Amino acid sequence: MSETQYAAPLFVDHDGAAVLLERVPVAGSDASYNEAFIQDLVFDHPRALPVSEIDRAYEGLVPVCKELNTAAGPLDVLYVTPQGRLVIVEAKLWRNPEARRKVVGQILDYAKELSRWDYSDLQREVSRVTNRKGNALYSIVREKDSSVEEAAFVDEVSRSLARGLWVPKKGAY
């Protein structure tokens, strides 16, 4: 495909100033983007993920950690909502030909492993990866939303772990 068939995207700031965006290579010797870059980007900017377009119950993602160890391998990014719903992100570059098939399999493997955990298992691994003591998972969420009550949060995370996999509501596809 030639680059000329695509329009040049613009970034327009709040003052109306426009900056022409240029394509950057994601493959080859001059590529500077990899899956770790994507992990960092979505971890630092969870609002970039269109969760409200999938299910509004998962809005307000709070980044917990990257590279959480499970028996299925380290999951890329773990989020939790203030309501205790867990969200897993697996980063793949589009150029990776196995990306779509492999990412679905990995997410299912991670969900299966997490469904075997209880809150203390998750808490232990989050504490290990974040180097935080105490109830690290709750503390991370509480820093973002001071209205979160610990007992209700722990109960809902426990339910999320037991479910193992998010099932979309009717019409959420």
pLDDT in tens, 3-17: 555 677 888 999 999
State residue 30's pLDDT score: 59
- Does pLDDT of 172 surpass 50? no
Q: 96 lies in a domain? A: yes
Q: 16 lies in a domain? A: no
In tens, the pLDDT along 99-141 reads 677 778 888 899 889 999 999 999 999 999 999 999 999 999 9
Q: 49 lies in a domain? A: yes
- Does pLDDT of 168 surpass 50? no
- When divided into structural domains, the chain yields a total of 1
Q: 89 lies in a domain? A: yes
Domain that holds residue 147: 31-163
pTM check: above 0.75: yes
Q: 3 lies in a domain? A: no
Residue 67's CB is within 10 A of a number of other CB atoms, namely 13
In tens, the pLDDT along 15-52 reads 999 999 887 766 665 567 788 888 999 999 999 999 88
Band of residue 61 on the pLDDT scale cut at 50, 70, 90: very high
Q: Are 108 and 88 in contact (CB under 8 A)?
A: no
Q: 5 lies in a domain? A: no
Q: 9 lies in a domain? A: no
Q: 23 lies in a domain? A: no
